[in-house]
Amino acid sequence: MKNNSKVFVVLMILNTILVSCKHEIPELLNDTIPTVSASCSTDSVYFVNDIQPLLISNCAMSGCHDAITHKEGINLTAYVGVMREVRAGNAGESSLYKSMIRTDEDRMPPRPAQALSADMLTKVRNWINQGAVNNSCTSCDQTKFTYSAVIKPLIANKCQGCHNPGSLGGGIDLSTYTAVKASAQSGKLYGSVSWAAGFSKMPQGSKLPACELSQIKSWIDAGMLNN
Ligand code: HEC
């Protein structure tokens, strides 16, 4: 009995050491490669286009569920990490979705961050119920660059999680037209997304596709209209 409890104490100490170390070593996930469709179906939700940017800006920021911190062992930077929290085909049984629709203090992302919008929650739910596959599609048309149809959704999807009044990365708000316009006028918006020297590279981690950069540039050059 005595020996057993000693072994138990040693195991508990080892466990504490292991758990605390885990948070200092970046977790490199061997990710799977997405299947790419040449066009986007309006009936489908795509992991790379819709879900990953939403998770990166609302959940996988530094200090939360990124590769280095992976709070509670959850790493949402890559598909395989996301799938640990997902039961494919069943959003109602997926901790990823369930944590987002809670209304108590365990809601994700936690306050003061904003809750995900109804539109984002629908996307996550539909993506899981459609099988939670690692898919992507290409639909960007660089000749189209109105604020309402292109710029606003692009920023909502890929930037706002880190740039809203509840979570002001770098003190920058991109949650309204006025704020986005101000950022564009200061030169910072295009400087950061084009990864120009002297600006922070945005979004963190991966550069926007060339077509989306071109849309942002065209919208700015055309006078940053609220069109
Ligand atoms: C994961 C969180 C995150 C995402 C996603 C993100 N940002 Fe940022 N952003 C930050 C943080 C944090 C800072 C301030 C620290 C720094 O400069 O790295 C910042 C800084 C900026 C700046 C100031 C740059 C400068 O050099 O002064 C701009 C402009 C900006 N972001 C725009 C964007 C745009 C546009 C997007 C989407 C295409 C985006 N960000 C996506 C977190 C994020």
d(CA 6, CA 8): 5
pLDDT value of position 223: 98
| 208 Cα nearest atom in ligand 1 | 38
Residue nearest to atom 36 of ligand 1 (CA): 159
In short, whether 188's Cβ falls inside 6 Å of ligand 1 is: yes
pLDDT band at 93 (very low <50, low <70, confident <90, very high): very high
Which residues have CB under 8 Å from 11's CB, separation 6+? none
Which of 108-122, 125-139, 209-223 shows the lowest mean pLDDT across its residues? 108-122
Cβ(69)–Cβ(22) under 8 Å? no
- Residue 78 tokens, joined: 């890559």
d(CA 146, CA 223): 11
- Residue 5 tokens, joined: 């409890």
Q: Please, what is the average pLDDT of the chain?
A: 85
Residue that is written with structure tokens 């071109």 in the block: 214
pLDDT value of position 17: 41
> How many CB atoms sit inside 10 A of residue 57's CB?
24
Query: What's the pLDDT tens digit per position in 164-199?
Result: 998 888 999 999 999 999 999 999 999 999 999 999
pLDDT value of position 128: 97
Which sequence spans correspond to the domains of the chain? 35-137, 147-221
pTM listed for this prediction:
0.67
pLDDT value of position 111: 82
- Percent of the chain past pLDDT 90, that is, above it, reads 52
Query: What's the pLDDT tens digit per position in 15-68?
Result: 444 444 344 566 666 677 888 887 889 999 999 999 998 888 887 777 778 777
Task: Answer yes or no: is pLDDT of 101 > 70.
Answer: yes
pLDDT value of position 177: 98
pLDDT value of position 66: 78
- Residue 209 tokens, joined: 């596709």
- Residue of 158, 192, 215, 219 to mutate, ligand 1, most atoms within 8 A of C-beta: 192
Cβ(21)–Cβ(15) under 8 Å? no
Closest CA to 74 of 117, 125, 127, 110: 110
Residue nearest to atom 31 of ligand 1 (CA): 202
pLDDT value of position 24: 52
C-alpha gyration radius of the chain:
20
> How many CB atoms sit inside 10 A of residue 175's CB?
18
Task: Find the 218 Cα to ligand 1 centroid distance in Å.
Answer: 20
Which residues have CB under 8 Å from 195's CB, separation 6+? 201, 202, 207
Task: Answer yes or no: is pLDDT of 148 > 90.
Answer: yes
d(CA 213, CA 190): 8
